[in-house]
Structure 1
Amino acid sequence: MKNKTMRILDAEKVYGEAPIFKEPRIIGDWILWLEQRPNEKGRTTALIRPWGQKDVLPQELTPYPSDLRTKIHGYGGAPLTATLDGSDLILTWVDNKDNRLWMRTWFYEEEKEKSFSFKFIPKIESICLTKKHNYFLAGGVIDLEKNIWIGLMEDEEGDHIVSYSLKKSEQYPRIIYSSQGLLGYLALNSKDRKLAWVEWKNTSMPWDLNELKLAKLGEQENIINIVTLNNEYLKCTEKISFFNPIWSDTGDLFVAEDSSGWWNITQIKTDLNNNSITIFQNQWSIKAEIAFPQWVLGMSSFSCVGDNVVGAFAQEGIWTLALFQKDGSIKTFDQTFIEFSGIHSHQNRLVAIASSAEITEGIFEIDLLNQSWEHTPASSFSLDSKEISIGESFWFIGSNEEKVHAWYYPPLNKQILLPPLLVKSHSGPTGMARCGLDLEVQFWTSRGWAVVDVNYGGSSGFGREYRDRLRGNWGVIDVMDCTKAAQSLIASGKADKDRIAIMGSSASGFTALGCLISADIFNIGACKYAVTDLIGMANSTHRFEEFYLDYLIGNIETDYEKYLKRSPIENVNCMNMPLILFHGLKDKVIPSDQSIAIKEELLKREIPVQINLFENEGHGFKDGKIKVDVLNKTEAFFRQYLNI
């Protein structure tokens, strides 16, 4: 009777202390990563330690008040650039406190005797490379030959590739390339003096349609011999999306692209001046995805190892780490992890952020030759395997009678014959449900809840056709799939039909509200910073998503009635179930006024509603105390109105 001995997981264990690891990389014999700290109100800092020595205390290189974060394209990413110049470590970073680019150099003294401690010693004080400005920088690379930082800049005119000298302070940017569209994922081949990047028009999202650009770096830090690779160049009649271009040591370019309907790896060989280009598509053809939707910069799903590529691919909702060998074969690694991000390799070593069904997210290091690995969880808290609800891959018939994927987590501490069910889905809406251990899911299952995490039509990880189910159908397909998931579990005797809750944030908050409005199967809901006003969003959204609703809904002039019909704020009179809302007052993506308006309309009809506003939070809560508060209040609200 193990259910009687299960402990209930506290919200403080879920969110209170554990940092979020991001963008790991290998620099020589060291690993370097970003750490977002919820107990410091979400401040992000850079840490370093020796490779393969998880017991050695890492050194913080950018202590308080430094906060490494960018605002490019509204969602940011890639604030840090690092390289070794001999034995010197060079870091550049964008600091959230002033939005400027900073640089510092450290040296490392070898210990005379083997020690469990180490120290990088600053050679200079931090230098601010940029003048005060109104633009956003990110995604840089360091060119040691010219002693410059090359990176991306967004301003009112568009996106640019710019450079700054590493030897001067308070500089204006030197613009070396400009685009009226958007730029991302800049990659430098320093040996052959080449750059690659991804570029797209703001009428498309980068995972729907973009281009790959190759160029030569001239002697005057200028860009020449630009070649554009797109669906026309590849003689493909369908749209193509490129992701994560990287250069190998031999000068070949590898990139993920989805001309086959799946994000697979393509190899590109060029001569010195890009006059002759040979493309090797379908070298590793697999019905799986080796890329992510490009919401932020700094993501990585594969890396080069000599003439091979090492990366993680998603298939049936699970990520697998594999070596893509030059002979066309794919060799998987024998290890326990099923979710990977931030993959980076150097020589025969790899680092990534990884989690398994029973191990929380942490830094994963593997020797690619002998396949020995170690893992450093972000959280010092761990659960016994008997205290974990393992996700079960769950396919059901969703909208348009098509198969839809979800993860079902059975309840622990089951107190009654049929458990309450929490329906949740990822945000984006072009995201993917996590398959690694998620302590928030375990928070609910430890209290006797069943949880289903729905990969509704439109999710990534299942190919372009699956992703395109949402084209023109946001607020329809996603709502129907979440509803069908709940109905399927009720019909199979896995949920109490009178205790069905739904929860969401941002885009998935829009889906949750749509479910509460259109389906009477749901009894209660919780939403964080949810999209509620599609017309307002279409008229005020930021540049990155300016035309995203054209894809998700349609043109606002010709499809105005669709916008009205699917906007929760226009249909809140159809919502009759209790709702709890959470919103940050500094949210610039979705104004808090939208949640407040929903609350006011429900109050007029005396529908139970609560709203919680947080003065210093934006879009996506970062303060650990706030996250704990949100989880506790949601659970208490559900318990109160579902009589649990």
Structure 2
Amino acid sequence: MNTPSSHTTGYGGWPSPVSAQAVVQGSRGLSSLAVDGDFVYWVESRPEEGGRCTIMRRKKGQSGGEPQEVLPAPWNARTRVHEYGGRSMLINNGVVWFTHFNDQRVYRMVIGEAPVAITPAANVRFGAFELDAPRHRLICIREDHRVSGEPENTLVAIPVEGMSEGDVLFSCSSFVSAPGLSPDGKSVAFIAWNHPDMPWDNTTLWSATFAADGKLEGLTEHNPDTGESAIDPQWDEEGNLYVLSDRNNWWSLYQVSGTAFTLLSPQPENSETGGPAWQVGKHYYRIRQDGSILANVVQGAIGQLYLLDRKTGEMRVLTPESAAIEDFVESDSALYVIQDPQTRPGELIALSDLTADSPEVSVITTSSDSALSPAWVPTIQEVSFPVGENAKAYGTYFPPANPDVTAPEGSAPPLIVMIHGGPTSKASPTYSVSKYFWTSRGFGILDLNYRGSTGYGREYRHALYGEWGVTDVEDAVAGAQWLADQGLADAGKLIIRGGSAGGYTTLAALAFSDVFKAGASHYGVSDLEALAGDTHKFESRYLDQVIGPYPERKDLYIERSPIHHLDGFNAPLLLLQGLEDKVVPPNQSEMIFEALKDKGIPTAYVSFEGEGHGFRKSENIVTALNAELYFYSQVLGFDTAEPLPEIDIAGPGK
């Protein structure tokens, strides 16, 4: 029934205040918390500055004033270790060390003074710094690209001043990550793994003490050949070692002594403290001085910060409104948390008096200058649906939400099935203006956590192994059809879209099924063989797990590559691609575009100069969103409420 202020308009053409510009305007990413002296620090990424990452700070306390920028443009605190980067700065006593994105050198900066390089100009990258104060050096990951073949990943020590490329401490594996120093500075622990494993497959926990010359001694391998994913080693004040492991199916916290892993209690059942280590330096828990634990606990799609009391067994959620936790750090006076709530933009908050039933919360900064009124934020629904043989998949349904419009009676909205990247990753139902761009125009969204996603245990994660391009496609098709059967989607206007690995699933779904009527691939894979032979070291053997070893199983690579199954493509396709992408090179999109164009399928290819794997520049994010809406309106036959920049669509009648 129409309200006096609404009018009836068909789904997809609803007028919306959520423009593509609104998605990036005044937006920023928040990460990498640190506390030093009277200040709390964080890294802030800015799409409106080409994705530049700056360092911000604010005084502690509710009267701390406005945030201040301490790293002026054009400095950019962002590492490219493992291509996906991670923690790129360290602060101690008013001194900042950071990796500058443009040259990947490490710089030392006294607050208020100009940064000074402490590593030489070379094709070498650094990240995940830990301060080894007794020896006046930084312990970190070094990725050396000067060697022939794949770069070398090592654990190194760099003097805090001067000029050095670092002294190698450990180099006995394909990869090394997550260094953690004991509070007394006597010990270090770190994670290592070898090809073909990924860090969520089979990693080794190492620890050692420091010899008089600063080298490692007493090197101990705590879990030889156990086939588990161990991540994020840390020490408590008494010198006890802890690590997260999925040996019980769920990433959980263990205390480690030798080869003995003791599961700590309490921890919520069927939940994970941890996640896939795409980036270096992320912490999922902290052991407090009283022995209690702060833990980033993930249950399915939802991540919340818990306080786990080992003495009383109490488990308390400290961030009840969060859908994901980015980072947290505790000081004497407060707990600082970067959280992504479900109904408002991400925020950096301070929690005081954790002993209270409801700790006092103050907001330091947010990830956006503005927020939509609640009427424009969809009321989400966590869903599960049957797939395969006696299995189920998960997702979040975002219904259309627009207080000014009513849809025609008896109609159902077009549905966008969104496929997250990875594929070892997950989608969380956080506040997302980029999703509301669609829901405010009358689109429904299924944010899919197909089999292979994280947050549901190791067995669910491994259900994709050997089945990429099969299981994920099956889940996308089943989810779309299930929502159509519920009357929540128009079966004639089902869309699939995704980026990177999600772009591959998008292409595979269009090649191997006829359920979807349109698709958009953001820097997606069309030729698995080409990807196997032309990608970076971190993921160079990833396909061994999710497809099979190459070239031994070349048959599977051909069988599941959309480029070899053009006869299956009948739905229109939009391809969006960064021209500097080293993870999924541009030729992947170019090949599929030329092939579909020759076949006569309506298709468009939009490329972006200067963009890598993922779009960081605000103008390119805007262009991509508008291009996608324009494409759907043209190929699905609906009018948009606003004029849009046209893109060239090849195909019949174009």
Fold shared by both chains (TM-score > 0.5): yes
- Counterparts of 1:120-519 in structure 2, within 5 Å, are 121-122=112-113, 125-155=114-144, 156=147, 158-168=152-162, 170-230=163-223, 239-268=227-256, 279-285=261-267, 286-306=269-289, 307-327=291-311, 328-333=313-318, 335-347=320-332, 349-367=334-352, 368-370=354-356, 371-375=359-363, 376-413=365-402, 414-416=406-408, 417-519=411-513
Shift of 1:192: 4.5
**Residue number among 620, 623, 637 corresponding to 1:626 in the alignment:** 620
**Are residue 537 (structure 1) and residue 503 (structure 2) matched?**
no
Shift of 1:338: 2.6
Aligned pair in 2 of structure 1 residues 437, 186: CA closer, same or farther (>3 Å)? same
Q: Deviations over 1:368-398 (max 9, x none)?
A: 2341112332101111112110220001012
Shift of 1:55: 6.9
Q: Distance in 1 between matches of 2:260 and 2:368?
A: 46
Aligned pair in 2 of structure 1 residues 353, 447: CA closer, same or farther (>3 Å)? same
Q: Distance in 1 between matches of 2:497 and 2:521?
A: 6
Aligned pair in 2 of structure 1 residues 488, 75: CA closer, same or farther (>3 Å)? same
The amino acid across from 2:376 in the alignment is: E
Shift of 1:268: 3.1
Aligned residues: 612
| Structure 1 unaligned residues grouped into runs of 5+ | 107-120, 270-275
Shift of 1:38: 0.5
Q: Distance in 1 between matches of 2:491 and 2:64?
A: 49
The amino acid across from 1:247 in the alignment is: W
Q: Please say if residues 573 and 601 of structure 1, whose CA atoms lie closer than 8 Å, have aligned partners that are also in contact.
A: no
Aligned pair in 2 of structure 1 residues 268, 409: CA closer, same or farther (>3 Å)? same
Q: Please say if residues 304 and 345 of structure 1, whose CA atoms lie closer than 8 Å, have aligned partners that are also in contact.
A: no
Q: Please say if residues 287 and 315 of structure 1, whose CA atoms lie closer than 8 Å, have aligned partners that are also in contact.
A: yes
Q: Please say if residues 419 and 450 of structure 1, whose CA atoms lie closer than 8 Å, have aligned partners that are also in contact.
A: yes
Aligned pair in 2 of structure 1 residues 525, 215: CA closer, same or farther (>3 Å)? same
Aligned to 1:179, the other structure's residue is in SS state: coil
Shift of 1:359: 1.1
Shift of 1:334: 6.1
Greater mean deviation of Cα atoms: 16-25 or 62-71: 16-25
Q: Distance in 1 between matches of 2:295 and 2:332?
A: 14
The amino acid across from 1:223 in the alignment is: L
| Structure 2 unaligned residues grouped into runs of 5+ | 8-14, 639-654
**Are residue 99 (structure 1) and residue 91 (structure 2) matched?**
no
**Residue number among 15, 29, 35 corresponding to 1:20 in the alignment:** 29
Q: Please say if residues 217 and 224 of structure 1, whose CA atoms lie closer than 8 Å, have aligned partners that are also in contact.
A: yes
Aligned to 2:389, the other structure's residue is in SS state: helix
Q: Please say if residues 418 and 496 of structure 1, whose CA atoms lie closer than 8 Å, have aligned partners that are also in contact.
A: yes
Q: Distance in 2 between matches of 1:252 and 1:348?
A: 25
Q: Distance in 1 between matches of 2:388 and 2:349?
A: 38
Partner of 1:117: none
Aligned to 2:41, the other structure's residue is in SS state: strand
Q: Please say if residues 173 and 192 of structure 2, whose CA atoms lie closer than 8 Å, have aligned partners that are also in contact.
A: no
**Residue number among 592, 603, 611 corresponding to 1:598 in the alignment:** 592
Q: Distance in 2 between matches of 1:103 and 1:338?
A: 35
Q: Please say if residues 159 and 166 of structure 2, whose CA atoms lie closer than 8 Å, have aligned partners that are also in contact.
A: no
Aligned to 2:198, the other structure's residue is in SS state: coil
Q: Distance in 1 between matches of 2:41 and 2:481?
A: 46
Q: Deviations over 1:31-75 (max 9, x none)?
A: 111111101101111111123448722221211111111111222
Q: Please say if residues 158 and 179 of structure 1, whose CA atoms lie closer than 8 Å, have aligned partners that are also in contact.
A: no
Partner of 1:48: 57
Aligned pair in 2 of structure 1 residues 356, 259: CA closer, same or farther (>3 Å)? same
The amino acid across from 1:284 in the alignment is: P
The amino acid across from 1:399 in the alignment is: G
Q: Deviations over 1:253-302 (max 9, x none)?
A: 33211111000111236xxxxxx786422433422011110011132222
Q: Please say if residues 305 and 346 of structure 1, whose CA atoms lie closer than 8 Å, have aligned partners that are also in contact.
A: no
The amino acid across from 1:213 in the alignment is: W
The amino acid across from 1:37 in the alignment is: R
Aligned pair in 2 of structure 1 residues 553, 54: CA closer, same or farther (>3 Å)? farther
Q: Please say if residues 183 and 237 of structure 2, whose CA atoms lie closer than 8 Å, have aligned partners that are also in contact.
A: no
**Residue number among 555, 565, 580 corresponding to 1:561 in the alignment:** 555
Shift of 1:226: 1.2
The amino acid across from 1:490 in the alignment is: A
TM-score scaled by structure 2? 0.90
Q: Distance in 1 between matches of 2:598 and 2:393?
A: 37
Q: Please say if residues 26 and 350 of structure 1, whose CA atoms lie closer than 8 Å, have aligned partners that are also in contact.
A: no
Shift of 1:7: 4.4
Q: Please say if residues 416 and 446 of structure 2, whose CA atoms lie closer than 8 Å, have aligned partners that are also in contact.
A: yes
Q: Distance in 1 between matches of 2:141 and 2:361?
A: 35
**Are residue 546 (structure 1) and residue 531 (structure 2) matched?**
no
Shift of 1:320: 2.6
Shift of 1:613: 0.8
Q: Please say if residues 421 and 451 of structure 1, whose CA atoms lie closer than 8 Å, have aligned partners that are also in contact.
A: yes
Q: Deviations over 1:164-196 (max 9, x none)?
A: 22231x323222222232011111114141111
Q: What is the Cα-based RMSD across aligned positions, in Å?
A: 1.9
Q: Please say if residues 413 and 444 of structure 2, whose CA atoms lie closer than 8 Å, have aligned partners that are also in contact.
A: yes
Paired-residue identity, %: 29
Partner of 1:80: 89
Q: Distance in 2 between matches of 1:478 and 1:277?
A: 36
Q: Distance in 1 between matches of 2:63 and 2:262?
A: 39
Shift of 1:17: 2.9
Aligned to 2:108, the other structure's residue is in SS state: strand
Q: Deviations over 1:536-560 (max 9, x none)?
A: 1112222111211110001223321
Partner of 2:12: none
Aligned pair in 2 of structure 1 residues 8, 420: CA closer, same or farther (>3 Å)? farther
Q: Please say if residues 58 and 64 of structure 2, whose CA atoms lie closer than 8 Å, have aligned partners that are also in contact.
A: no
Aligned to 1:73, the other structure's residue is in SS state: coil
The amino acid across from 2:248 in the alignment is: S
Aligned to 1:487, the other structure's residue is in SS state: helix
